[in-house]
Amino acid sequence: MSDRQLHVAIVGATGAVGVEMIRCLERRRFPVGRLTLLASKRSAGKKARFRDSELTIEELTPDAFAGVDVALFSAGGGISKEFAPHAAAAGAWVVDNSSAFRLDDDVPLVVPEINPDDARHAPRRIVANPNCSTAIALMALWPLHRAFGVKRVFASTYQAVSGTGAQAIEELAAQSRQWASEKTGAWDDARVSTPPAVYPHQIAFNVLPHVDAFLDNGYTREEMKLENEGRKIMHHPAFRASVTCVRVPVFRAHSLAISAEFEQPVTPEAARTVLAGAPGLRLIDDPAAKAYPMPLDLAGQDDCAVGRIRRDCALDNGLAFWVCGDQLLKGAALNAVQIAERLV
């Protein structure tokens, strides 16, 4: 990492991921000499703490990046497309958390534990952060691919509401409180009277097999990301993934159930050996002792975790496993800061 102190900007500093970026910079002792926090005009003037200082949120404008060395973006694809080129033109390295540039040929898509060197081949000075579920899945899938050669996966996600934002967190909390006050123990009726605002259906005591917009092929955009982004990150153009993305009433940390088919024979014992040595990944795999990864335990943790490892009885050379990780950290803020560490 650079010895000199850097000028860092965070775009979307008041959002859930932006807040985690501030914390990651401080916790990982990133060499920040000056931190500029940028957000919409509506949020300008608000305060945020970094180290022992209170900083004022500034309005995002095209000329806000003068002297910035690293700009971390997490304010949505439209904002990234408009303002990331301004940051790069001003000389900053841009790490973008949106989907705006992920599949562009001249923008590397990086998970530092997998393809760190790709970050240095960024002619536009923009590096993309992958989708949160993709990042968490590949933390377990990549070491297995290196050992056994993955061909295809079938996966279902269990995605926390914080992936949608602060309003979704409050909607789940409010619906849960309302049910407790209205039903007085009527467990057989889980509906609440207030219509949902964030999701198309009630999320409390429910699961929604619907994350992002539906495409003509019947999948959602979110469901296609593991295949499309996985191919680019792993440099594996033949990789195939059939995914069903599900929103669940969990506040934080995503989980995935994955069945993977490999080129080479694989056993659970061999897989555990490989996974136990993978960086950024913990092995929690003792079902007899009821030990397996859970979002309640992974929330707020940098590492992802994998468990429930077993032979897949429906696939040749198949392995089934369960992986869990904090989507605000490894799926977003932490991964972005790790990329920035590589760049500087």
**Do 213 and 261 lie in a common domain?**
yes
183 located within any domain: no
Range of the domain at 304: 134-165+197-327
Pick the closest to residue 63 from 96, 35, 85 (CA basis). Answer: 85
* 217 within domain boundaries: yes
Same domain, 284 and 148: yes
Same domain, 117 and 13: yes
Residues of the chain with pLDDT > 90, as a percent, come to 94
Mark whether 108 and 257 lie in a shared domain.
Answer: no
Burial environment of residue 167 by CB neighbours within 10 A (0 to 12, 13 to 18, 19 or more):
exposed
pLDDT of residue 103: 98
Which residues have CB under 8 Å from 152's CB, separation 6+?
239, 240, 241, 242, 260, 261
Answer whether residue 321 is part of any domain: yes
283: which residues sit within 8 A by CB, 6+ positions away? 272, 275, 276, 305, 306, 307
The pLDDT of residue 180: 87
Query: Do both 32 and 153 map to the same domain?
Result: no
Catalytic residues: 132, 254
Q: Is 61 inside a domain boundary?
A: yes
Assess whether 64 and 125 both reside in one domain: yes
Contact between 90 and 68 under an 8 Å Cβ cutoff? The reply is yes
Render pLDDT for 46-69 as a digit per residue (tens, 0 to 9).
999 999 999 999 999 999 999 999
Q: What's the number of CA atoms in the CB half-sphere (13 Å) around residue 261?
A: 13
- Residue 49 counted as domain residue: yes
Exposed, middle or buried: residue 134 (CB in 10 Å: 0-12, 13-18, 19+)? buried
Indicate whether 155 and 300 sit together in one domain.
yes
Phi, psi torsion values for 263, nearest 5 degrees: -70, -40
Same domain, 155 and 292: yes
Please tell me the total count of domains within the chain. Answer: 2
pLDDT in tens, 190-245: 899 999 999 999 999 999 999 999 999 999 999 999 999 999 999 999 999 999 99
**What Cα–Cα distance (Å) separates residue 337 from each residue in 70, 157, 205, 342?**
10, 25, 35, 9
Residues 213 and 303 in one domain: yes
Tokens of 199: 């999701």
**Residue ranges in the chain modelled with pLDDT below 70:** 1-2, 183-187
- Check residue 1 and give its pLDDT: 52
114 in the same domain as 156: no
pLDDT of residue 199: 98
Using an 8 Å Cβ cutoff, are 132 and 99 in contact? no
Residue 28 lies in a domain: yes
Q: For the domain that residue 273 is a member of, what is the CATH number?
A: 3.30.360.10
User: Within a domain: residue 96?
Assistant: yes
- Do 155 and 87 belong together in one domain? no
Query: pLDDT at position 186, please?
Result: 63
The answer to the question of residue 186 being in a domain is: no
Together in a domain, 12 and 57: yes
CATH number at residue 52: 3.40.50.720
